[in-house]
Amino acid sequence: MDNSEIDITKYDYVVVGAGISGSTIAERLVNCDTCKVKNKVLVIDKRSHLAGNCYDYIDKTTNIRISKYGPHFFHTNDLEVWNYVNMFSKWIRWEHKALSYVESVNKCVSIPVNITTINELCNENIENSEDVKEWLSSNQIKYDEIINSEEMAKSRVGEKLYKLLIEPYTYKQWNKMPKELDASVLARIPIRDNFDSRYFSDKYQALPEDGYTKLVENMLDNPNITVSLNTDFFKLRDYYKNKVSSSEMPTIIYTGPIDSYFQNLPKLEYRSLEFKKEIYYYKNYYQTNSVVNHPDIETPYTRITEYKHILNQKSPHTIIFKEYSSDTGEPYYPVPTKRNRDLYDKYKLLADEEEEKYDVHFLGRLANYKYFNMDQAIKNALDYYELHFDSTSTKL
């Protein structure tokens, strides 16, 4: 849509980004029970579709639902978030499992590390949780103070599993050795003292029956929400900069990269992803599991996703995506290093000033330069709404 066709002065709020964070707060602004006046909200996105990186669709050649930007598996222990997402979709229980192909032993093993993983890679015969605790105690490396992800991983799984499963995969994913990354990166990796091979242990694990794109469509299905795709926020902002007074400008909720909003500081680092699609006609399955990691340093891709496995979809064909990490392209993951953390603190000061002067709010993974799972992004948006926009909240 041409900038001149969008009259932003008609709206109370402009939400920049139609991903999970932006859609959640846009929905709350028009549907919250405590809204005394019906807000008018404009949601814009530079892409041609809703749902951000969660965008999925049915592949026409195979009739398999795939995700354009990689698989997303919803999981949470937060009842508020679970009840919230159930307002907009029926959910189907799905307990994600992942494998890792270790080339040196020519074997796929389950991750996260559990009893079977230890037995298969370390030639052990562990049978119970007490054996696991004893094995871990004798293999974990002890540190007085853990200062990076290498030390974090070794303190949890020991040297051998670190070298086989974690170090090469982390380097491929981040283009940095684990010792260059904050300890928080690998602190997220769970370890099981049993045979549980599920990737997540959360109480609620499910996928939306009709996909994430439909979920977001339902969230934004309100006469007081207008959606404008293929719309560049910065061009829109510049177009109106000298045309309307600050009092006529709506409240802006920005969910894009914070270093794209401000131009007077060095750029933050992000990791991006590239996907190479391969279709196999009249083939039942390509691999034995939906997601198989490839930690071997000589293999250029980090993992292969075969979407036909997910929700046991039916098709005479199958389709896979090989995933490659990259420094260029759409930003996916903030890179957690001291340099980036310190630089973000400077951006945060600018963001606070922008909120105070111009009523611009920064929300979500890219705007807050923080890794959020889907449930965390939703919770963060719900909390932000209550804190900043809910007139009945005691937190205001």
Q: What is the pLDDT along the chain (396 residues), one digit of tens a residue?
A: 566 689 999 999 999 999 999 999 999 999 976 665 689 999 999 999 999 999 999 999 999 999 999 999 999 999 999 999 999 999 999 999 999 999 989 999 999 999 999 999 999 999 999 999 999 999 999 999 999 999 999 999 999 999 999 999 999 999 999 999 999 999 988 899 999 999 999 999 999 999 999 999 999 999 999 999 999 999 999 988 888 888 889 999 999 999 999 989 999 999 999 999 999 999 999 999 999 999 999 999 999 999 999 999 999 999 999 999 999 999 999 998 999 999 999 999 999 999 999 999 999 999 999 999 999 999 999 999 999 998 654 444
Residue 157, CB-side half-sphere exposure with 13 Å CA sphere: 27
Structure tokens at 349: 């000061």
By the 10 Å C-beta count (0-12 exposed, 13-18 middle, 19+ buried), 103 is classed as middle
Q: CA 255 to CA 334: how far, in whole Å? A: 14
Angle, CA of 39, 44 and 46, to the nearest 5°: 175
Q: CA 35 to CA 391: how far, in whole Å? A: 8
Determine contact, residues 189/153, Cβ cutoff 8 Å. yes
Determine contact, residues 380/363, Cβ cutoff 8 Å. yes
Determine contact, residues 185/336, Cβ cutoff 8 Å. yes
State how far the alpha carbon of 253 is from the alpha carbons of 52, 248, 250, 259, in Å. Answer: 15, 16, 10, 15
What's the pLDDT at 394?
Answer: 43
pTM: 0.94
**Sheet holding 74-76: strands in order across?**
74-76, 204-208, 91-93
What's the pLDDT at 35?
Answer: 62
CATH fold of 3-50+220-266+333-388:
Rossmann fold (3.40.50)
What does DSSP say about strands 56-59 and 64-67: parallel, antiparallel, or unpaired?
antiparallel
What's the pLDDT at 111?
Answer: 94
Structure tokens at 270: 């992000």
Give every CB contact of residue 159 below 8 A, 6+ residues apart in sequence.
139, 141
Q: CA 214 to CA 281: how far, in whole Å? A: 27
Please give the radius of gyration of the chain, using alpha carbons only, rounded to the nearest integer. 23
Domain ranges of the chain: 3-50+220-266+333-388, 98-187
Angle formed by the axes of helices 115-122 and 129-139, to 10°?
A: 50
What's the pLDDT at 34?
Answer: 64
Is the sign of the CA dihedral 114, 118, 120, 124 positive or negative?
negative
State how far the alpha carbon of 128 is from the alpha carbons of 108, 113, 121, 201, 239, in Å. Answer: 22, 14, 17, 18, 65
DSSP 198: B
Structure tokens at 82: 């679970």
What's the pLDDT at 38?
Answer: 80
What's the pLDDT at 5?
Answer: 80
